[in-house]
Structure 1
């Protein structure tokens, strides 16, 4: 019997990814004036695609465009990549402050949504444990 639902496990992975993105973007902002520093980003989309392609069990889907899922935990491992392809500034630094601030704002929205959802899951569990009182 699995005491922690796959939904909670997925939400936990989403929170971990959000924390990794936060660390990455704040490191980029902290190094905005460091000569030769290359911006880093979390490759979330590729990790999600790889995790969904490794699923062992098929799921029931009502539309061909839905993402497949299973009850088994997948290997979801977002990677931090370095942007070596461009030089934004003359000193070799390629951190764009506007991009970093926009990414931080997007990440904050994701984090708030996931924490709200996981709080709801825990409230539901608490309600079941207490017998609905």
Structure 2
């Protein structure tokens, strides 16, 4: 079972991070008219590397520090190209583009994961 989990890990981690990123981007769009709101985002590549690197590590001693692959640890403020008078850093064009790109990449990750699962299913059936 562990080998199957390892085989699918990168795609499942990517899906989880893409979902978290979509939520962050949606929050940015929802707060576009909120004075002083600072747009946030994650560095997807470094978050994915952290998530894959941490994997399913288990602590074996009370002195060990648990590792988490939470993207919330990677949240960063987006630097605006145009400064708003009310201090809001959400730029709708940027947010919409990032959201659309992230959604397409989410769908791609889902398709890769489905293909892997189909391949494993066929291998188990001996096809």
Please give the TM-score of this superposition, normalised by the length of structure 2: 0.74
**How many pairs align?**
111
Residues 36 and 91, structure 1, Cα contact 8 Å, conserved in 2: yes
Residues in 2 aligned to 1:117 and 1:46: alpha-carbon distance in whole angstroms: 20
Which has the higher mean CA deviation after the structures are superposed, 27-36 or 76-85? 76-85
**Runs (4+) of structure 1 moved beyond 4 Å?**
84-87
Residues 88 and 95, structure 1, Cα contact 8 Å, conserved in 2: no
Q: Which has the higher helix share?
A: 2
User: Does 2:78 correspond to 1:99?
Assistant: no
Residues in 1 aligned to 2:22 and 2:47: alpha-carbon distance in whole angstroms: 17
Residues in 1 aligned to 2:3 and 2:78: alpha-carbon distance in whole angstroms: 41
> Which blocks of at least 5 consecutive residues in structure 1 are unaligned?
52-72
Q: Give RMSD over aligned pairs.
A: 2.5
> Which blocks of at least 5 consecutive residues in structure 2 are unaligned?
55-68
User: Does 2:60 correspond to 1:74?
Assistant: no
Name the structure 2 match of 1:68.
none
